[in-house]
């Protein structure tokens, strides 16, 4: 990437960990290449960002969403989405004008998922190309159909059929998250109005060749892969000091590292369900018992004060009963399980002791697991996670998807046990580890100088 263009990028991210991380990593890549970059999110998000001081071309700004003090569980999600769009679009416009008045006009604005109002310019897809292709086909089907019956399955050339259990939950009328479907449709309609629609994708060509071709050829949208957007110290090594994304919405200690250090190579099951999803009590108990029955050591990240009103108060996991003083050992199982409120996931997944990743299949987690070469057991809950879990098991073959009714939060402890044992065992486990190693090498190749993602970003 050259510096002679003198570009000033404005990157706008939704104030959630899974949105901020890849966008902030892209911001660091652009700043290292000599471009001026302004990264904008809410005031709460900016306060938690801590990036290296040597990136003097990277600056930060805030915009308002109308909910600067946070969203309350009692707030109507539809009202939140409407206010987010109304207040956010005005605030971002004012930010652009202010930067221009300071003599720093914006050359290019890049916005993430959930922010289609930001712009008609360049869209950074923080989900997989497969998920984006499904959104495109799904809303095309709604437009061409009777308008009352959304497609129950989606077919993409070269990939297995995506049935209702494999679709992003935002597209399922039976899902409590269906209220967000119009926002995703807005993304598609914005691109349809663009004479030269372009989507930057946090993925790499070899991983999602068929999904990218499906969108390019059928829908006329140019998809440019620029990922995996992972801290440089764990990927292309262009900046060994870049050991974290630079933003943690939750506090953590590093005590878990000494615990991991006491375990044998590839012996530990790492469990995390990301920064958003809340576990129902029944699901928590089934996963816990399944892990215990494996007899293998496990490190489980459970965020403090996890609440989800959609799930119902009686089903909430009360973290205070589990985690004591930031780090907790399950009573009577001190030699087997460690529960922590948060951790550096890239650091954990790169640790020699980790042999399996039980994951909600959020896209950032999938990419981190691939880059670190860790086989996975998928327990998808919401959003694009069911789609990613299908790809993990059936397409990339780097893990297994736990069977059960994920939408109802129901899986069986025996299924958890069996999946972990298969992934960490012989025969099928060896095949999964071999495929995982293959994708790890391809992921790292993509971000190295001359690789597909490195070249795509340089050419963009």
Residues designated catalytic: 19
Residue among 440, 435, 380, 373 at smallest CA distance from 407: 380
Quote the CA–CA distance of 430 and 438 in Å, as a whole number: 12
Quote the CA–CA distance of 359 and 365 in Å, as a whole number: 7
Q: Cβ atoms within 10 A of the Cβ of 282, count?
A: 14
Burial readout 383-418 (b: 16 or more C-beta within 10 A, e: otherwise): bbbbbbbbbbbebbbbbbbbebebbebebebebbbb
Quote the CA–CA distance of 425 and 161 in Å, as a whole number: 29
Quote the CA–CA distance of 247 and 242 in Å, as a whole number: 12
How far the first Cα of the chain sits from its last, in Å, is 8
State yes or no: cis peptide before 453, omega within 30 of 0. no
For 300-350, give the DSSP string. EE--TT---TTT-GGGB--GGGT--TT-EE-TT-TTTEEEES---HHHHHT
| Helix (H), strand (E) counts: the chain | 14, 16
Q: What are phi and psi of 395, to 5 degrees?
A: -105, -55
Quote the CA–CA distance of 16 and 39 in Å, as a whole number: 14
Quote the CA–CA distance of 323 and 312 in Å, as a whole number: 21
Quote the CA–CA distance of 212 and 198 in Å, as a whole number: 12
DSSP classification of residue 247: B
Q: Cβ atoms within 10 A of the Cβ of 102, count?
A: 8
Coil, strand or helix at 69:
coil
């Amino acid at each position: 990437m050259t510096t002679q263009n003198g570009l000033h990028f404005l990157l706008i991210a939704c104030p959630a960990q899974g949105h901020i991380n890849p966008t902030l990593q892209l911001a660091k890549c652009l700043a290292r290449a000599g471009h001026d970059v302004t990264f904008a999110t809410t005031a709460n998000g900016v306060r938690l960002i801590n990036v290296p001081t040597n990136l003097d071309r990277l600056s930060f700004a805030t915009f308002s969403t109308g909910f600067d003090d946070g969203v309350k569980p009692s707030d109507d999600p539809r009202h939140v989405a409407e206010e987010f769009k109304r207040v956010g679009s005005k605030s971002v416009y004012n930010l652009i004008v202010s930067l221009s008045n300071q003599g720093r006009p914006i050359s290019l604005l890049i916005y993430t998922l959930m922010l289609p109002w930001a712009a008609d310019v360049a869209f950074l897809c923080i989900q997989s190309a497969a998920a984006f292709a499904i959104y495109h086909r799904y809303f095309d089907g709604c437009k061409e159909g009777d308008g009352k019956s959304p497609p129950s399955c989606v077919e993409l050339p070269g990939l297995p059929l995506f049935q209702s259990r494999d679709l992003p939950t935002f597209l399922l009328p039976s899902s409590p998250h269906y209220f967000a479907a119009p926002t995703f449709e807005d993304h598609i309609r914005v691109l349809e109005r663009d004479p030269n629609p372009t989507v930057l994708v946090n993925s790499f060509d070899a991983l999602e060749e068929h999904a990218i071709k499906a969108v390019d050829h059928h829908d006329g949208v140019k998809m440019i892969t620029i990922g995996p957007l992972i801290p440089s110290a764990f990927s292309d090594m262009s900046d060994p000091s870049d050991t974290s994304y630079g933003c943690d919405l939750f506090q953590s200690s590093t005590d878990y590292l000494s615990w991991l250090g006491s375990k044998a190579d590839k012996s530990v099951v790492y469990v995390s369900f990301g920064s958003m999803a809340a576990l129902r009590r029944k699901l928590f108990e089934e996963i816990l018992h399944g892990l215990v029955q494996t007899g293998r050591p496990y490190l489980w990240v459970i965020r403090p004060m996890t609440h989800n009103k959609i799930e119902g108060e009686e089903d909430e996991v009360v973290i205070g009963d589990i985690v004591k003083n930031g780090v907790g050992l399950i009573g009577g199982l001190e030699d087997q399980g460690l529960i922590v409120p948060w951790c550096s996931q890239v650091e954990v997944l790169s640790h020699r002791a980790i042999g399996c990743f039980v994951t909600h299949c959020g896209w950032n987690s999938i990419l981190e697991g691939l880059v670190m070469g860790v086989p996975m057991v998928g327990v998808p809950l919401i959003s694009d996670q069911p789609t990613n879990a299908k790809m993990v098991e059936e397409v990339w073959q780097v893990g297994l998807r736990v069977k059960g009714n994920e939408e109802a939060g129901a899986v069986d402890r025996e299924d958890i046990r069996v999946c972990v044992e298969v992934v960490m065992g012989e025969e099928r486990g060896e095949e999964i580890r071999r495929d995982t190693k293959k994708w790890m090498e391809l992921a790292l190749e993509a971000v190295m100088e001359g690789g597909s993602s490195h070249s795509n970003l340089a050419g963009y």
